[in-house]
Amino acid sequence: MSVSDQVSLLRNMFDAAVSRAQPDRCIAQFLPTPPMGRTIVVGAGKASAAMAQALEKHWSAPVKGLVITRYGYAVPCERIEIVEAAHPVPDEAGLKATERLRKMVSGLSEADLVIALISGGGSSLLVAPGEGITLQDKQAVNAALLQSGATISEMNCVRRHLSSIKGGRLAAACYPARVITLLISDVPGDKPVDIASGPTVADESTSADALAILERYRIAVPENLLNYLHQPHSESLKADDVRLRRTEARLITTPQVALEAAAEVARQAGYAPYILGDSIEGEARDLGLTMAGIAKQAALRGQPFKAPCALLSGGEATVTIKGNGRGGRNVEFLLSLAVALNKLPGVHAIAGDTDGVDGAEEIAGACITPSTLDRAWALGINPRKSLDNNDGHGFFQAIGDSVVTGPTLTNVNDFRAILIDKR
């Protein structure tokens, strides 16, 4: 295969993963039976608008509601209102929409049903700061967390305990109505409490845990936030809370399902697919070094994977911003991988966020080939310096290897694939 063929195959695998995670392909089988009373739909996340559209298509009973999605991710709905707001740092639009959403579920009865459509990105879109906390406070903490190197689970723990709607509190607002949460997972391990910070599910973590995370990553926060986290009302809802007795969470699609779709594309192209894991975490550049070592062993030794093969993985890496580049965990992983492979023949790779946004950029990710480093040097770009500056996006845009999808309307976390050909 030529380099263009390899890159096309990688892109086809990525597209297959994204396609398999589209809400319309998976939502129908998870819908509950219509209730005797009203059906209210609420939701938040990058996939929430597409989920609402799919629900309307398959729901014959009366329904109304409101979901909040990222700017540019809205789709037409007839009965459910779609509101756009900011991600990954919340804004005033998200704050106002969240207040409207919460009012919509107040005063419900046991005969009513709330369907919550929750996907990745909901943490910043569903905005309701705790008492005495301002939107500006939340924005500052969110921005600091995103640059700290904290895992998604750690970030969401802090977000839950500074919120009046996350950590089961949205379900509490719906009580005594029945609450069915439909989830598209974008988190390692598919834990419902970590998807959009778990607005409708119980949470085992505590405010003390949130304080420890802030201290661990040396994140300075205003005194009023520290005081809030020491108060009992900062605690999220626990499993024995009566207001959670009529709640149920259903995962409708996951990163593993998306990886399996990509694996089938690789198999049909003559590559033996190996899914190394759907919940791999850690620093993106460290992950690049590790995957480079595995790829070298397969390419040069035929162990433990015999070429031609495709090494697939998912999860959510992190980037600790130390330079003044544009960040992006997928492009940082790829740049680290390319430097470590050092032009090894027969190895090509892609990495991208399945929501179409890597970091804060409207770019999903990028591809690398054995010629990546040479093409960068020809433009006067030092790959190692770009990596040290956390400027993967600048690097790949300059050599023309960025992957731009636009809004994908779903989100099942990062997708990584390495193709290894016979030598």
Question: Hey, where are the domains in the chain?
Answer: 3-18+256-420, 31-253
For 3-18+256-420, CATH number? 3.40.1480.10
3-state SS class at 316? strand
Q: What is the pLDDT of residues 218-276, one digit of tens each?
A: 998 999 999 999 999 999 999 999 999 999 999 999 999 999 999 999 999 999 999 99
Residue 282: per-residue pLDDT: 93
CB 153 within 8 A of CB 205: no
3-state SS class at 234? helix
350-377 average pLDDT score: 96
DSSP conformational letter for 283: E
* Cα gap 408→387, rounded to integer Å: 27
The upper half-sphere exposure of residue 207, i.e. CA atoms within 13 Å in the direction of its Cβ, equals 17
- pTM comes to 0.94
147 — pLDDT class (breaks 50, 70, 90): confident
2 — pLDDT class (breaks 50, 70, 90): low
Residue 6: per-residue pLDDT: 96
CB 35 within 8 A of CB 59: no
CATH superfamily of 31-253: Glycerate kinase, MOFRL-like N-terminal domain (3.40.50.10180)
Q: What is the pLDDT of residues 77-112, one digit of tens each?
A: 999 999 999 999 999 999 999 999 999 999 999 999
DSSP 91-117: -HHHHHHHHHHHHHTTT--TT-EEEEE
Amino acid at 180: I
Distances (CA, A) of 301 to 298, 306, 423: 5, 8, 10
Strand order in 365-368's β-sheet?
A: 272-283, 309-318, 414-420, 347-353, 365-368, 402-403
Residue 368: per-residue pLDDT: 98
**Mean of pLDDT over the chain:** 96
Cβ neighbours for 274, distance < 8 A, ≥ 6 positions apart: 305, 309, 310, 311, 312
Q: Going by DSSP bridges, is the β-strand pair 39-44/365-368 parallel, antiparallel, or unpaired?
A: unpaired
Residue 145: per-residue pLDDT: 92
pLDDT of 360 over the 90 cut: no
pLDDT of 1 over the 80 cut: no
pLDDT of 55 over the 70 cut: yes
Q: Going by DSSP bridges, is the β-strand pair 113-119/247-253 parallel, antiparallel, or unpaired?
A: unpaired
DSSP 325-358: S---HHHHHHHHHHHHHTT-TTEEEEEEETTS-B
* Cα gap 273→355, rounded to integer Å: 23
Residue 362: per-residue pLDDT: 93
CB 50 within 8 A of CB 411: no
DSSP conformational letter for 55: H
Q: What is the pLDDT of residues 391-401, one digit of tens each?
A: 999 999 999 99
pLDDT of 336 over the 90 cut: yes
Decide whether 3-18+256-420 matches 31-253 in CATH topology. Answer: no
